């Protein structure tokens, strides 16, 4: 999928482009500070300020918010990058992307390939698109350490040592706690969480040795606020979020690798086969994301070579991380209001977990 151009996103007229416009104009100190100086140090500016006192006060507030926002972003970037810089030569980097056969992963892989970046796709299902020249597919069950080791050996032989690990693969059964089988619970955690540990054990040591690389984790807004029929998925994604935060800390405090970047992507519902049957009307603030939109934001941040955290849609970055600090009457109502969202769930399962674990003697 080609990069999207135009002011409106693929989802249409929603809150995020309006928010971006506000950030780039009224909350942009590069624009507002010069205008404020004009009101203080030029004759015409002083005249305008004298006759528009109320507008000037509002403008002062906007300038202050803009400066504070800029300072906060600067400090965040510095903290997340551990105060050190690093450079990426994308003609030499090797990306490993799980779940790159379809959905968000497919769009990410295609966008990286458009820049001739070498990508190894790990997935149990074949590619649903024709692989570009810089993309190689390796069938791999990422819940198996031996399968990962075998795929890693082939990647190193055919492409090179991976420097970027993208944990994109995710599964969901859309069942209640009592309707789910033990195998389905285990499968959800194995793919959505435990595979991150297995993949890190395989690919992270080289990144630590060279003090260079990146690990990207795709969590979910369900990490913060879940709905009925999504409990095991939400729990596994909350655990993936904790994995990201813990890895970020250990890279600095245990492995002395401050230049190895970590990136967390936390999207809301995305229009893929995984959540077919999702039943929640779109609104200006809360809407179904296009996989291309999520992929474009992922690729943009990966290519920037910086650590970071991204929540999509943008409005959710203000509300959902704080929901656990909200009064119970608010957070409980928010969860219960979404009780019908997955009532008609019919999302695709890339494999049958009950058969998968029956062959291996069942969940352990």
Residues with catalytic roles: 233, 237
Residues 6 or more apart whose Cβ sits within 8 Å of residue 223 = 234, 237, 238, 240, 241, 266
Q: Of 97, 109, 183, nearest to 140 (Cα)?
A: 97
| Burial track 124-136 (b if 16+ CB lie within 10 A, e otherwise) | beebeeeeeebbe
Q: Percent helix, strand, coil in the chain (nearest 5)?
A: 50, 10, 40
Both tokens of residue 16?
A: 């995020």
Whether the CA torsion 197, 143, 294, 207 is positive or negative: it is positive
Cis peptide before 313 (omega within 30 of 0): yes
Cα separation of 205 and 227, whole Å? 37
Cα separation of 19 and 17, whole Å? 5
Alpha-helical segments (H) within the chain: 15-24, 29-41, 43-51, 53-80, 103-113, 145-158, 182-189, 195-210, 231-253, 291-304, 316-319, 328-337, 353-359
Alpha-carbon 224 to chain mean position: 14
Residues 127, 132, 135, 141: what is their CA dihedral angle, to the nearest 10 degrees? 0
């Amino acid at each position: 999928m080609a990069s999207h151009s135009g002011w409106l996103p693929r989802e249409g007229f929603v809150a995020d482009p309006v928010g971006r416009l506000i950030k780039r104009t009224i909350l942009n100190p590069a624009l507002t500070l010069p205008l404020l100086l004009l009101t203080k140090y030029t004759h015409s500016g002083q005249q305008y300020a004298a006759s528009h006192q109320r507008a000037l006060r509002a403008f002062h507030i906007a300038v202050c918010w803009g400066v504070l926002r800029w300072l906060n972003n600067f400090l965040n970037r510095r903290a997340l990058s551990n105060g050190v810089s690093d450079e990426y030569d994308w003609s030499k980097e090797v990306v490993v992307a799980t779940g790159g056969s379809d959905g968000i992963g497919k769009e990410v892989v295609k966008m990286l390939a458009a820049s001739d970046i070498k990508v190894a796709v790990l997935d149990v299902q074949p590619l649903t698109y024709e692989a570009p020249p810089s993309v190689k597919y390796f069938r791999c069950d990422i819940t198996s350490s031996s399968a990962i080791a075998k795929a890693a050996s082939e990647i190193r032989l055919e492409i090179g040592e991976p420097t970027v690990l993208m944990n994109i693969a995710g599964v969901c059964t859309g069942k209640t706690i009592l309707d789910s089988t033990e195998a389905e619970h285990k499968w959800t955690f194995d793919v959505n969480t435990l595979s991150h540990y297995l993949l890190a054990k395989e690919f992270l040591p080289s990144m630590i040795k060279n003090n260079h690389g990146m690990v990207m984790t795709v969590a979910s807004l369900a990490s913060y606020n879940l709905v009925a029929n999504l409990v095991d998925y939400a729990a596994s994604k909350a655990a993936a979020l904790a994995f990201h935060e813990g890895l970020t800390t250990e890279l600095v405090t245990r492995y002395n690798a401050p230049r190895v970047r970590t990136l967390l992507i936390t999207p809301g519902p995305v229009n893929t086969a995984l959540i077919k049957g999702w039943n929640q009307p779109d609104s200006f603030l809360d809407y179904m994301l296009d996989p291309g939109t999520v992929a474009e934001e992922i690729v943009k941040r990966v290519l920037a070579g910086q650590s970071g955290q991204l929540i999509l849609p943008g409005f959710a970055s203000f509300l959902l991380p704080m929901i656990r600090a909200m009064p119970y009457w608010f957070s409980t109502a928010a969860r219960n209001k979404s009780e019908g969202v997955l009532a008609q769930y019919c999302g695709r399962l890339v494999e049958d977990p009950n058969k998968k674990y029956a062959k291996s003697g069942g969940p352990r």
